[in-house]
Chain A
Amino acid sequence: MKYSRLLFLFLVPLLMMGCKKDKNNPGYNYMGKHDMYYTKFYKAYSPNPLLPNGMTNQMPAEGAVARGKMPFPYKGSTITDRAQNQSLAGLELANPITSNDAIVQEGKEQFRIFCSNCHGLQARGDGNLYTSKLFPAKPTSLVESYVQNKPDGEIYYVITMGSISGLMGPHGSQITPENRWKIIHYLRHLAK
């Protein structure tokens, strides 16, 4: 066949059919792994074959205290331990931040993000998750005397380690220590 060579041109569109877009496929890039596009270092959240638990993100060594941060020696696993540690924290910890309007505003913003889902914006225990019946137990009102009579350190302990009942989870990993103290300032401001 004289023109059989031309036939292969028909194959090109057929090959193109293979390039179907898949939502699971991130697509192609010019050089891929062989260029600076995706380099070979381990990213913060990527798995890591070199480290024992297979993760790049590692916890700080047990007992390590970051420069300029306060240690928090009140961990405890049993209910009795935690009840003791909570009152101990109440006695020993003092709020390192002095309150003013700006601090209260910052505390309010942090409270909105981390607490208001359950405790409500006004901290009356009427957050959206409870009122819409998604979370079964009633959150504590934070403006009434039961919480307000507790020293700052105990509230700080509950934010960090969660409530003794276990219904409120530990928020220590989410909220920075400074912001926890700011939230406490906001709570004091609310009860005024």
Chain B
Amino acid sequence: MINTGIVFKKPLALNAFLKNGLLILLLLFSSLSFGQTAEAEANFAVCKACHTIGGGKLVGPDLKGVTERREEAWILRFVKNSTEFIQSGDPVAKQVFEENNSIPMPPNNLTDEQIKDILLYIENGGKVAGASEAVVEQTPKPAQDELESTMILAEKKQAEAQNLYITFIILSVLIVISIFDLLVSKILKARWIHVVIMLISVVVIGEIVFLESAALGRQQYYQPEQPIMFSHKVHAGQNKIDCKYCHFTADESMHAGIPPVNVCMNCHSQVKQGKLTGTKEIDKIYSAIERNKPIEWIKVHNLPDHVYFNHAQHVNVGKVACAECHGPVEKMDQIIQVEDLSMGWCIQCHREKEVQFADNKFYDQYTKLHQQIKSGKISKVTVQMIGGDECQKCHY
């Protein structure tokens, strides 16, 4: 194990060899005196489930100073197979077992050297000697090109809307000026210029008014600031957590569901610090639990109350992927509504999208359509064919 200790530091040692021979000696000495390796840290990850080093008792006892309390041979036997050891009648082992609520420690398939290595690691206070630099280098830098897509999309659209307003204002001013010139100041003698300017302005303003009134009540590109700076890019993108891990009612209920804090705590009982926000944002979860107050998330995707939408129908039965309506959520730091959720958008999908008819128990009763598919009369079934564009399916 001492050998691997040196191997682990090889790049460091090589680097130092070029600069200063003395450093190699120092490194050699340090690794000889500590002796433990990165492997010990990896192996200790299993122990961490129940033990701490100086962090107090979890399920099993705190392992700080365990090498002073017990003999090495005793520890070796206990770690390898504690149940066997206790049954063999060792009084100390039995006492330890009973002190810790009689919860057996699972057997570990480790060699003597590996366990001794872990013990050195414990003596060292849970640190691999000289490993701190290596760890720092491993933290990934956020890729610049990943930031684009959604943020740009949102800003582009917001800028577009801004442009529409500016155009509207300029054209209104133009109309007013040309009317004023036509009736009062009469600077331009050619009257057709006034007419052309006014006609163009009226058409364009009409277009803008149409677009804006169509967008009334729709909330495309709505991107509210949430009470916690929760990033879907980190959780769904980088950590690859499935959407349904947190939005677990999407399969069963009309609502996709906002996760209760106990779902956050599945990970954040251990992960207490974010890479970008530190403890500030994660602490808000803990304070919500402490005060027993729900976190007031702001709903982004709103439908008017005269429309019925059901997640279970679309996600569970229809097997529609979340991203088809919600866009590339795994790239969004802050959730933005990508689609306009208008009725036209709904109906278009209902007319074009193929229903997953095969191996879908929900659609078993549509025997006529099944027969038509079999006989080759139709190639696919759309939502429209099973009543997806009837008014009362969504409005009732």
Is there contact, CB below 8 Å, between A37 and B305? yes
User: Is A143's CB within 8 Å of the partner chain B?
Assistant: no
Task: State the CA gap A95–B172 with chains docked (Å).
Answer: 73
Q: Is the interface of B mostly helix, strand, loop or mixed?
A: loop
Residues of A116-170 contacting chain B, CB below 8 A = 117, 128-130, 132-138, 140, 146, 163-170
Q: Contacts A16-B168, A164-B103, A166-B269 hold; do A37 and B294 have CB atoms under 8 A apart?
A: no
Is there contact, CB below 8 Å, between A12 and B304? no
Q: Which 6 A-B pairs have the closest CB atoms?
A: A29-B217, A169-B266, A138-B45, A13-B169, A23-B223, A137-B48
B-chain residues with CB within 8 Å of residue A117 when the two chains form the complex = 239-242, 245
Is there contact, CB below 8 Å, between A134 and B299? no
Is there contact, CB below 8 Å, between B107 and A30? no
Q: Contacts A9-B176, A173-B263 hold; do A27 and B222 have CB atoms under 8 A apart?
A: yes
Task: State the CA gap A128–B263 with chains docked (Å).
Answer: 18
Identify 17 residue pairs between A and B in the complex whose beta-carbon atoms are under 8 Å apart, listed by A's number.
Answer: A6-B184, A9-B176, A10-B176, A17-B165, A19-B165, A23-B221, A26-B219, A36-B304, A38-B305, A39-B305, A83-B103, A113-B244, A130-B45, A164-B59, A164-B103, A167-B270, A173-B260
Is there contact, CB below 8 Å, between B216 and A13? no
**Can you name the residue of chain B whose Cβ is closest to the Cβ of A117?**
B241
B-chain residues with CB within 8 Å of residue A137 when the two chains form the complex = 45, 48-49, 270
Q: Contacts A45-B258, A83-B101, A138-B49 hold; do A55 and B269 have CB atoms under 8 A apart?
A: no
Kindly specify which of B110-118, B154-162, B369-377 makes contact with the partner chain.
B154-162
Is there contact, CB below 8 Å, between B306 and A36? yes
- Interface positions of B (Cβ within 8 A of A): 45-46, 48-50, 58-59, 101-103, 106-107, 138, 154, 158, 161-162, 165, 168-169, 172-173, 176, 179-180, 184, 215-219, 221-225, 239-242, 244-245, 248, 252, 254-255, 258, 260, 262-263, 265-267, 269-271, 294, 296-297, 299, 302, 304-306, 336
B-chain residues with CB within 8 Å of residue A10 when the two chains form the complex = 173, 176
Is there contact, CB below 8 Å, between B49 and A163? yes
Is there contact, CB below 8 Å, between B266 and A36? no
B-chain residues with CB within 8 Å of residue A175 when the two chains form the complex = 248
User: Is A112's CB within 8 Å of the partner chain B?
Assistant: yes
A-chain residues with CB within 8 Å of residue B48 when the two chains form the complex = 136-138, 167
B-chain residues with CB within 8 Å of residue A47 when the two chains form the complex = 296
User: Is A20's CB within 8 Å of the partner chain B?
Assistant: yes
- Interface positions of A (Cβ within 8 A of B): 3, 6, 9-10, 12-13, 16-17, 19-21, 23-30, 36-39, 41, 44-45, 47, 54-55, 79-80, 83, 112-114, 117, 128-130, 132-138, 140, 146, 163-171, 173-176
Task: Please indicate which of the listed interface residues B225, B262, B266 has the most CB atoms of chain A within 10 Å of its own CB.
Answer: B266
Is there contact, CB below 8 Å, between A171 and B161? no
Is there contact, CB below 8 Å, between A44 and B266? no
Is there contact, CB below 8 Å, between B216 and A165? no
**Can you name the residue of chain A whose Cβ is closest to the Cβ of B107?**
A146
A-chain residues with CB within 8 Å of residue B173 when the two chains form the complex = 10, 13
B-chain residues with CB within 8 Å of residue A9 when the two chains form the complex = 176
Is there contact, CB below 8 Å, between B218 and A27? yes
B-chain residues with CB within 8 Å of residue A168 when the two chains form the complex = 266
Task: State the CA gap A83–B105 with chains docked (Å).
Answer: 12
**Can you name the residue of chain A whose Cβ is closest to the Cβ of B269?**
A169
Is there contact, CB below 8 Å, between B46 and A12? no
